[in-house]
Amino acid sequence: MTTNAIVSLTEMYAAVRLHTERLCDPLEAEDMVVSSMPDVSPTKWHLAHTSWFFETFVLAPRVAGYVSPNPKYSFLFNSYYVQAGERHCRAQRGLVTRPTVHEVLAYRHHVDEHMHALLQRDDDPRLAALVELGLHHEQQHQELMLTDIKHVFWMNPLRPAYGPPTGEPRPPGGKADWISVQEGIYTIGHDGCGFAFDNESPAHRVFVDDFRLGTRLVTNGEYVEFIEDGGYRRAELWLASGWALVRDEDRTAPQYWDRAPSGWTEFTLAGTQPLEPDAPLCHVSYFEADAFARWAGCRLPTEAEWEIAARLHPDIGQLTGARWQWTQSAYVAYPGYAPARGAVGEYNGKWMSDQWVLRGSSLATPPGHARLTYRNFFPSDTRWQFSGVRLASGSSTTPPSGSGPRT
Nearest alpha-carbon partner for 69 in 106, 20, 114: 106
Residue 167 located in a structural domain: no
Query: What CATH number has the domain bearing residue 256?
Result: 3.90.1580.10
Same domain, 70 and 199: no
Same domain, 213 and 81: no
Residue 165 located in a structural domain: no
Q: pTM value?
A: 0.94
**Separation CA 179–CA 228 (nearest Å):** 28
Same domain, 227 and 147: no
Looking at the structure of the chain, the number of domains it has is: 2
Same domain, 184 and 151: no
Helix (H) or strand (E) run with residue 288 in it: helix 286-295
Q: Does the bond joining 202 to the residue before it have cis omega, within 30 degrees of 0?
A: yes
- Where is the domain boundary, 155, 170, 199? 155
Same domain, 249 and 332: yes
The dihedral sign for the CA sequence 341, 347, 352, 353: positive
What three-state secondary structure class fits 273? strand
Residue 168 located in a structural domain: no
Whole-number pLDDT of residue 395: 60
Same domain, 36 and 147: yes
- Which residues partner with 204 through β-bridges? 188
Same domain, 127 and 214: no
Distances (CA, A) of 67 to 33, 63, 352: 26, 9, 35
Distances (CA, A) of 323 to 87, 280, 312, 320: 32, 7, 20, 7
Same domain, 276 and 340: yes
Number of neighbouring beta carbons within 10 Å of residue 83:
10
- Which residues partner with 299 through β-bridges? 392
Same domain, 247 and 366: yes
Same domain, 35 and 100: yes
Whole-number pLDDT of residue 406: 44
**Letter for the amino acid at 206?**
V
**Separation CA 80–CA 314 (nearest Å):** 36
Whole-number pLDDT of residue 176: 75
Same domain, 220 and 151: no
Residue 171 located in a structural domain: no
* Per-state percent for the chain, helix, strand, coil, to nearest 5: 40, 15, 45
**Letter for the amino acid at 376?**
N
Distances (CA, A) of 53 to 58, 125, 340: 8, 18, 16
Vertex 321: Cα angle to 232 and 20 (nearest 5):
105
Whole-number pLDDT of residue 257: 98
> Domain residues for 60?
3-155
Residue 163 located in a structural domain: no
- Which residues partner with 392 through β-bridges? 213, 299
Same domain, 260 and 358: yes
Q: How many residues does the chain have?
A: 407
- Where is the domain boundary, 119, 140, 155? 155
Q: Are 284 and 222 in contact (CB under 8 A)?
A: no
Q: Mean pLDDT for each consecutive 10-residue tract of the chain (407 residues)?
A: 66 97 98 97 98 98 96 96 94 96 98 97 93 97 98 98 80 76 98 95 98 96 98 98 98 97 96 96 98 98 97 83 95 94 87 96 94 97 97 68 42
Residue 25 located in a structural domain: yes
The dihedral sign for the CA sequence 346, 347, 349, 355: positive
**Separation CA 376–CA 119 (nearest Å):** 30
Residue 172 located in a structural domain: no
Residue 403 located in a structural domain: no
- Where is the domain boundary, 122, 155, 188? 155
